[in-house]
Amino acid sequence: MTKEVQEDMVVSLDYTLIVDDDEVESTQDGNPIQFIQGHGQIIPGLEEALSGMEVDSTKTIHVKSEDAYGESDPDARQKVKKEEFSEDVPLDVGTFLDLRDADDNVLSAQIVEKDEETVTLDFNHPLAGKDLVFEVTIADLRPATEEEIEHGHVHES
């Protein structure tokens, strides 16, 4: 039986992510990511392109921004008065912050501008609006267990 990437398979994936010709992230240290195919656990454009690949197969996958983290939304920027932050929070451009909304949900934001009184927070994903290139290798495949599918994540073996 040929094992190939298909829905409800646990995929172990080695990858290198390249954005604007720069390597951003890699699992080449021998720690592939694991996810259940077809369950939206990775970006849609990558998940779709992996379908049908076999163990040890390699591929370069180009994912347009709309099939990755979406376009950058200018409405996802917000000016906040510096006084609303505790004094121990570094308010430097480029700093990433995890903030809580009124419903206690964690929201990630990056400081993209600052002046004397305010900082501008960008709640877009850092890769929003970017086309991505993945160099991938399927390290391993196995059927997901019923429990993994029910729980929505891969269990350590």
- For 52-82, how does the pLDDT look when each residue is reduced to its tens digit (9 = 90+)? 999 999 999 999 999 999 999 999 999 999 9
Domains by residue range for the chain, with CATH: 9-69+128-151 (3.10.50.40), 74-122 (2.40.10.330)
The pLDDT of residue 30 is 79
- What is the Cα–Cα distance from 46 to 32, expressed in whole angstroms? 15
The pLDDT of residue 157 is above 70: no
Does residue 1 register a pLDDT over 50? no
Give the chain's radius of gyration (CA, Å). Answer: 19
Task: Give the percent of the chain with pLDDT over 90.
Answer: 87
Residue 101 pLDDT: 85
Q: What is the mean pLDDT of the chain?
A: 93
| Neighbour order of strands in the sheet with 77-81 | 77-81, 118-122, 106-114, 96-100
Nearest by Cα to 109 from 100, 97, 101: 97
Please check whether residue 137 is in contact with residue 56, taking contact to mean a CB–CB distance below 8 angstroms: yes
